């Protein structure tokens, strides 16, 4: 009888250990998100070449094996990071409620949103710089991101067409032209903050300067579009 009880206890203990070792779907999702968050920081700081999977594993208290299980390789992890950060800004842009407002106001909101997002997400700016070092070889292959960008360009083109139709916007530019102008003006302030600040003794993070530049960039884009 005692032997049977011991055997039962042994089987129970083994079952408990197996249950404790299982990773639920929710745990896996949380682990994946934690890895992505840490990897975003690592790739933004060190680039694709400089970031180390060992460091990411240590910071997330997981293993390289688990990272490779989720992402396949270091490059796979990097592509997942790119997809994550590019999706975040596109998701914000697609929430713009500009269908039923005048085109000038709609374009103003697009510029303001881009400016505010870039200012509050310096990691995104650094990762864009990293991907430019890599000649865009990874982001160009992310079909979901290309589709999201296509959607926002279509939205911007709709706003532009309305402004052209009522005589407010010039007709010799398209949505990609406008996106280039907005992106250049907003991106520069964040990507060149420290070099520009050192050369011209100005703190671009100063709230008053940031507010002034925000309005200046809005005005510049709207004047560029004026018919």
| 180-204 pLDDT, tens digit each | 999 999 999 999 999 999 999 999 9
Query: CB within 8 A of 172, min separation 6: which ones?
Result: none
Task: Convert the pLDDT of each residue in 4-18 to its tens digit.
Answer: 444 444 444 444 433
**Using CB atoms within 10 A of its CB, is residue 178 exposed (0-12), middle (13-18) or buried (19+)?**
buried
pLDDT on residue 40: 96
pLDDT on residue 48: 95
Q: Is residue 201 classed as helix, strand or coil in its secondary structure?
A: coil
Query: 81 vs 100, 148, 190, CA distance in Å?
Result: 34, 16, 20
Note the pTM of the prediction, 2 decimals.
0.82
Q: Residues 63-67: what's their mean pLDDT?
A: 92
Q: For residues 23 and 32, give the distance between their C-alpha atoms in angstroms, rounded to a whole number.
A: 12
Domain-by-domain residue ranges, the chain? Answer: 80-225
Rg from Cα positions in the chain = 24
Q: Is residue 61 classed as helix, strand or coil in its secondary structure?
A: coil
What CATH homologous superfamily does 80-225 map to? Answer: Tetracycline Repressor, domain 2 (1.10.357.10)
8 Å CB contact between 118 and 125: yes
């Amino acid at each position: 009888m005692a032997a049977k009880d011991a055997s039962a206890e042994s089987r129970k203990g083994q079952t408990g250990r197996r249950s404790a070792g299982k990773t639920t779907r929710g745990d896996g999702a949380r682990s994946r998100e934690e890895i992505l968050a840490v990897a975003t920081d690592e790739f933004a700081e060190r680039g694709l070449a400089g970031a180390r999977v060992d460091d990411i594993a240590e910071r997330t208290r997981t293993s390289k094996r688990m990272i490779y299980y989720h992402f396949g390789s270091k490059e796979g992890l990097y592509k997942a990071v790119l997809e994550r950060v590019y999706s975040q800004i596109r998701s914000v842009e697609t929430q713009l409620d500009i269908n039923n407002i005048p085109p000038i106001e709609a374009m103003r909101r697009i510029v303001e949103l881009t400016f505010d997002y870039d200012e509050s997400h310096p990691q995104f700016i650094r990762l864009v710089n990293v991907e430019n070092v890599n000649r865009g070889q990874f982001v160009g292959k992310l079909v979901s991101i290309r589709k999201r960008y296509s959607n926002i360009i279509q939205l911007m083109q709709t706003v532009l067409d309305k402004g052209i139709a009522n005589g407010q916007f010039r007709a010799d530019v398209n949505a990609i032209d406008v996106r280039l102008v907005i992106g250049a003006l907003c991106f520069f302030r964040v990507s060149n903050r420290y070099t520009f600040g050192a050369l011209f003794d100005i703190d671009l993070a100063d709230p008053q300067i940031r507010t002034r530049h925000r309005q200046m960039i809005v005005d510049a884009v709207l004047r560029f579009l004026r018919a």
